[in-house]
Structure 1
């Protein structure tokens, strides 16, 4: 499933074709994706202008000049294709084939300005819903999300407060979307390696007895912000069938330090460890048992 950097890359790719533009036509080619499309989906969007295209955790949020906001999730295999003036931009050195089967092109937005935006989803685990724009903070999918890992709000103090007293593993705590929103398996593994922290460490050990941050908490906050920023700058990781709106492959996977590198040497300078894979809560965790403590 695409993680936060991939979703942010998609948002940036769609924004020039959507922000400030009206939906000229909206076509849903099936009655549902993961969930049924909202009632009057087409009528509620057509003619509306996109005020902004935002991201919250792993959700894309289209704010319009009407009462509805369009909330979208890419699921396992969802992606967008932007065609304008009969051409599909695909710059960059690395590319992967886009699904062009009409059976998988489920939603088409024709935008003011000439762009056609097509949502393609072979597995149909993605979804699009309409939410009350005036009450987004009450929307069930959004209301319990934690802090975003992309700004200074994510600090050692916040991690200490969120993890204090928790006996769960550090890996599990970081995947809890109510604490930190948008972190997924890949970037949690990478951030823990950068912070030299074991995924099996108890989360509560990052807070002092008084509830303040330990040096580990500060180090982890800095590592999370850095790995997310680096991944966004690289266009995400684009594992399997996820890609950017222009079809270009993400680059960050070429710099993974531990993820999917089982049995390979640890990349920490002077570390003689070997990357191991363990399973935590049904998910693969990659780490170095020598330098991550």
Structure 2
């Protein structure tokens, strides 16, 4: 599933073609994805101007001039790609329609935004803009790891007395919004913290050290266009490249890259997810 860097990359890729532009025509080719589309979604979107695009956790939010906000979740295999962009940043001709093109936005500026999702785990909804952040999917989220509300004091307080493994704590969206399996593994490696350590038993100094490292891992991934392991594509259809920089994720049995360590990357299962780490230098 796309994590924060992938969703941020897609959102940034959509901005030049969508932000400030009018949706000339919205087409919805099926009644649902993970859940049913809102009533008259195509009608409500057609003619609306996209005032602003932003990301919250793993959701893209398109604020419209109709006092509604379009919520988009890419799910496991969802892609949002741009064609016909008048700014010349993308492929100029619109591609032939594909089997899993479920939602299409033809913009008044000539761009076309296509939401393609073979596995149909993605989702869209329309929220009242004034109360969007109190929607049940958004209200439960913790601070954004790249925002000012995510700081050392917050993480120390969140971990205090917590008896769950630090890997699970960092994946808790109520503690930090948007972190996923890949980037938690990478951040823990950079801090030399074992994913098996209980969150509440890690010293405050080491907990605090996670904050800048988490930010740096995410910033590095965004700069590389995210990670493409299976389905992910950027808005221009290109792959992300951060997977070539993984220190531990997917590297089971390979040598640890930390200078002087000499250890080997291991994989364990925690809460049904694979954790990759070096048992020698991560403690």
TM-score bracket relative to the smaller structure: over 0.9
Distance 1:32 1:237 in 2: 27
SS of residue in 1 equivalent to 2:113: strand
Q: Which of 148, 151, 154 in structure 2 is aligned with 1:155?
A: 151
> How big is each residue's C-alpha offset from its partner over 1:32-68, in whole Å with a ceiling of 9 and x where there is no partner?
1111110010121111111100000000000011121
> How big is each residue's C-alpha offset from its partner over 1:145-197, in whole Å with a ceiling of 9 and x where there is no partner?
00111134322211111111100000000000001000000000000000110
SS of residue in 2 equivalent to 1:117: strand
> How big is each residue's C-alpha offset from its partner over 1:190-248, in whole Å with a ceiling of 9 and x where there is no partner?
000001101011101235xxxxxx21012111110110010001100011011101111
**1:112-261 correspondence runs (5 A):** 112-206=108-202, 214-261=204-251
What is the number of equivalent residue pairs in this alignment? Answer: 279
Of the structure 1 ranges 148-157 and 180-189, higher mean CA displacement relative to structure 2 is found in 148-157
SS of residue in 2 equivalent to 1:102: coil
SS of residue in 2 equivalent to 1:131: strand
SS of residue in 1 equivalent to 2:99: helix
Structure 1 consecutive aligned stretches of length 4 or more whose deviation exceeds 3 Å: 85-88
> How big is each residue's C-alpha offset from its partner over 1:104-159, in whole Å with a ceiling of 9 and x where there is no partner?
11111011211011111111110110011110122000001001111343222111
Aligned to 1:79: 79
Distance 2:282 2:27 in 1: 50
SS of residue in 2 equivalent to 1:63: strand
| Aligned residues: CA RMSD | 1.6
SS of residue in 2 equivalent to 1:277: strand
Aligned to 2:272: 282
Q: TM-score, normalised by structure 2?
A: 0.95
Q: TM-score, normalised by structure 1?
A: 0.92
Aligned to 1:67: 67
Aligned to 1:9: 9
Given that residues 44 and 68 in structure 1 are in contact (C-alpha distance below 8 angstroms), is that contact kept between their aligned partners in structure 2? no
